Amino acid sequence: MKVSEVMYCSFPVWYPKFKHISVKSIVIPLPAEFLEYLHTDGVVLPEGSLVTSGDRDSDEDRVGEELDVNWDDDSVEATAPSFPAFDAAIKKAIKMLGGKVFPKLNWSSPKDATWIAFDKSLKCTCPSDVYLLLKSSEFITHDLTQPFIHCEDFDESGDQANVGYSLILRKWQDLNPGYEFRCFVRNNKLIAICQRNHTAYYEFIRQEKEDILSDIQSFFYHLVSLKFPNENYVFDVYRRDQGKLLLLDFNPFGEVTDGLMFTWDELTDSDSELKGTDNDTQHPVFRYKNSGGIQPNPLSTFGVPRDILDLATGTDASKLVDLLKLRQQQQEDSSSEEETENQQT
């Protein structure tokens, strides 16, 4: 895997060419001061980014509404940074995308940080939602610090500085995880497909496996193949209905990407059953969970905040103190707002 192959999988690079078959998204370049903020310890949210919680799903008119938070109060000791122009760009993008968005950076989404969200999802309605997820995610930290760690030609002195990081806000859609599939391409041939939520059993996949396979192959050969610059890559699709697919993302073809129901040894071994072929009608290997049962959530290890782990080991208790104070402040603001609304009604 080379640096160029990883860069071609960066969202701002591939999205303009494939946006007609993907989820509507807005790309906002990250200012240098915000990048610095993401690299710093602690979870203090930028000044002016907080909103009242209330009923976020139904009250879209409140997107971007600010709270008057007194950061000089003794109960909040950390200094809050301020990014007014960036805040404004995020609020504008959220409004353009219908009031609810899904955030990510160039490669990763903060799906390991849903434990800190109010509804345990990646749904964001204001800048503070976005910031809290980004600051709490190890996946985002990996994007910022080690995107090329597995690249054979990585030059630490130059490649990292040329990334050009962006915040991507994608229009929120309530997607059924059972309809998501990961597809592996080697030498421009679709060699393997599997369900993306690989720990769950979906009866309909077993029943519709031939149609699913046919739809993904048709989507690949007509809309993706030879249009993406890499010969080896991974892409994710969402099959909304028969013959109706959405492109979700591109990923590098290598261990930095989760092989899910395949091992990277078999994906890269030319002698395995996963072989590219000159015959486009040759079916790729399609794997899905074919029986029920309880399976562990692969993200469960991220359910315990890093700050709590630091406290348990005695490493850095100050980070946990900052987090708890922040959550207490948000809860108090929310309770106060609800009491005011009740008194008015």
**Per-residue pLDDT tens over the stretch 164-214:** 999 999 999 999 999 999 999 999 999 999 999 998 999 999 999 999 999
Residue 173's pLDDT is what? Answer: 93
For 221, which DSSP code?
I
Residue boundaries of the structural domains of the chain: 3-69+76-173, 177-287
Give the global pTM.
Answer: 0.77
**Per-residue pLDDT tens over the stretch 267-296:** 998 777 786 544 555 789 999 998 765 555
**Per-residue pLDDT tens over the stretch 328-343:** 776 776 666 666 666 6
Query: Does the pLDDT at position 33 exceed 60?
Result: yes
Query: Does the pLDDT at position 159 exceed 70?
Result: no
Residues 15/25, Cβ–Cβ less than 8 Å: yes
Residue 71's pLDDT is what? Answer: 46
Domain at 177-287: CATH architecture: 2-Layer Sandwich (3.30)
Supply the mean pLDDT for the chain. 83
Long-range pairs for 238-242 at CB < 8 Å and ≥24 separation? Answer: 238/175, 238/179, 238/180, 238/181, 239/179, 239/181, 239/212, 239/215, 240/179, 242/211, 242/215
**3-state SS assignment for residue 151:** coil
Residue 76's pLDDT is what? Answer: 46
Residue 344's pLDDT is what? Answer: 62
Phi (first) and psi of residue 134, to 5 degrees: -65, -40
Closest CA to 227 of 41, 2, 16: 16
Residue 271's pLDDT is what? Answer: 74
pLDDT range class, residue 45, cuts 50, 70, 90 = confident
Query: Does the pLDDT at position 300 exceed 50?
Result: yes
**Per-residue pLDDT tens over the stretch 47-64:** 666 654 334 444 444 444
**Per-residue pLDDT tens over the stretch 128-144:** 999 999 999 999 999 99
**Could you tell me the sign of the dihedral formed by the alpha carbons of 11, 16, 22, 23, in that order?**
positive
Residues 115/305, Cβ–Cβ less than 8 Å: yes
Residue 125's pLDDT is what? Answer: 96
pLDDT above 90 covers what percent of the chain? Answer: 59
Query: Does the pLDDT at position 236 exceed 80?
Result: yes
User: Which of 26-41 are b and which e, b meaning 16 or more Cβ less than 10 Å from the residue's Cβ?
Assistant: bebebeeebeebbeee
Query: Does the pLDDT at position 311 exceed 70?
Result: no
pLDDT range class, residue 66, cuts 50, 70, 90 = very low
